[in-house]
């Protein structure tokens, strides 16, 4: 249940194929939009500002899961998580940590902390402000979170949208805004701990990340998928946790047109929900052409 979104356009079909079977809706944002692939435009530096419109578009969703395309989600490990709680990797030291705002040579850190984050905190309603100050960082420091993966349940969507509204035109980076929002919305002990066991490495390049993969982790970072061969490699390794993926990998390798057929079929079924009937019909012939008969139910 819920919706999922990621960032990339050149591997859009692959991501829909990978996660479309699990999540009700897959939304892909990229710096370059692509109407045929239903890829929407968005800037990662301020990704959170695009989310309220997506929340309003899918009013029946139980929640929304955000995932950057350099992180792999082992969705089968999310089943025990509480879908009414916030999820984020706040106990993963390489992903969530405090940075000093004084004595730092970087003007970027200083401006983020002193001019923007503090300004937003000082204008928060009392309940947000109390929560942030009770749970936030020590004086002269700021929480930075990579925010590669997090989940917002329906009961916090209104709070999230209110906080985005408080930011307004301020250009607070995504990595500072998300932990600020989470600390204002709830206390970390109340977050679900599902992502605290994710594998998060900063000492290896993403192209060599297969050596750190584990099907027991809820998510793995970093990971790079730049083309179909990379995707097939990923599908094979994920089959350790989801055996269906092994069948999918065989299909991708031996009958590559089935891979695209399945992807275009997903697209043909996806567009009507956006009232894009013409685009749905455009993808349907691509889907039907290589086959005699395929039915999705």
Instruction: List the chain pLDDT tens, one digit each, 297 residues.
Output: 445 455 455 678 888 888 887 888 888 888 888 888 788 888 888 999 999 999 999 898 999 999 998 899 999 999 999 999 999 999 998 999 988 887 655 566 666 777 899 999 999 999 999 999 999 998 888 899 999 999 999 999 999 999 999 999 999 999 999 999 999 999 999 999 999 999 999 887 766 667 899 999 999 999 888 887 888 888 888 988 887 766 555 555 444 444 444 554 554 444 444 444 454 444 433 333 332 221 121
- At 289 the pLDDT is 35
Minimal CA–CA distance to 191: which of 144, 146, 131, 138?
131
- Listed in sequence order, the residues at least 6 apart from 160 whose beta carbon sits closer than 8 Å to its beta carbon are 48, 51, 52, 55, 152, 181, 185
Backbone φ and ψ for 229, nearest 5 degrees, come out as -60, -40
In which element (H, E) is residue 29 found?
Answer: strand 25-30
Task: Count Cα atoms within 13 angstroms, Cβ side, for 269.
Answer: 18
- At 214 the pLDDT is 94
Minimal CA–CA distance to 215: which of 194, 228, 196, 198?
198
Minimal CA–CA distance to 178: which of 101, 102, 86?
86
Q: What CATH architecture applies to the domain 3-254?
A: Alpha-Beta Complex (3.90)
202 vs 160: CA distance, rounded Å: 29
- At 264 the pLDDT is 47
- Using an 8 Å Cβ cutoff, are 151 and 198 in contact? no
Residue indicated by tokens 């992502």: 195
- pTM beyond 0.85, yes or no: no
- Listed in sequence order, the residues at least 6 apart from 15 whose beta carbon sits closer than 8 Å to its beta carbon are 6, 8, 26, 28, 69
125 vs 97: CA distance, rounded Å: 25
Q: Where in the chain is the domain with CATH 3.90.550?
A: 3-254
Minimal CA–CA distance to 22: which of 67, 52, 59?
67
Residue indicated by tokens 């809820």: 218
- Using an 8 Å Cβ cutoff, are 234 and 209 in contact? no
67 vs 270: CA distance, rounded Å: 20
- At 245 the pLDDT is 66
Region of 97 on the Ramachandran plot (φ > 0 left; ψ -120 to 50 alpha; else beta)? beta
């Amino acid at each position: 249940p819920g919706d999922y979104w990621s960032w990339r356009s050149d591997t859009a079909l692959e991501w829909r194929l990978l996660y479309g079977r699990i999540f009700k809706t897959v939304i892909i944002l990229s710096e370059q939009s692509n109407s045929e692939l239903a890829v929407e435009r968005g800037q990662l530096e301020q990704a959170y500002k695009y989310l309220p419109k997506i929340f309003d578009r899918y009013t029946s969703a139980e929640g929304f899961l955000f995932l950057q395309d350099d992180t792999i989600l082992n969705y089968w490990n999310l089943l025990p998580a509480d879908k009414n709680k916030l999820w984020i990797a706040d106990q993963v030291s390489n992903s969530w940590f405090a940075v000093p705002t004084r004595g730092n040579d970087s003007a970027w850190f200083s401006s983020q902390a002193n001019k923007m984050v503090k300004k937003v905190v000082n204008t928060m309603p009392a309940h947000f402000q109390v929560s942030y100050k009770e749970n936030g960082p020590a004086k002269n420091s700021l929480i930075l979170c990579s925010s590669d993966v997090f989940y917002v349940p329906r009961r916090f969507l209104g709070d999230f949208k209110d906080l985005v509204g408080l930011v307004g035109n301020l250009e607070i980076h995504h990595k500072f805004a998300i932990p600020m929002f989470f600390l204002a919305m709830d206390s970390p002990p109340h977050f679900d701990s599902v992502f605290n066991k994710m594998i998060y490495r900063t000492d290896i390049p993403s192209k060599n990340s297969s050596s750190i993969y584990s099907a027991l982790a809820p998510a793995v970072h970093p990971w790079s998928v730049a083309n179909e061969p990379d995707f097939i490699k990923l599908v094979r390794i994920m089959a350790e946790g989801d055996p269906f993926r092994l069948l999918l990998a065989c299909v991708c390798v031996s009958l590559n047109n089935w891979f695209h057929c399945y992807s275009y079929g997903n697209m043909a079924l996806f567009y009507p929900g956006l009232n894009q009937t013409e685009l749905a019909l455009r993808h349907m012939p691509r889907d039907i052409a290589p086959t005699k008969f395929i039915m999705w139910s």
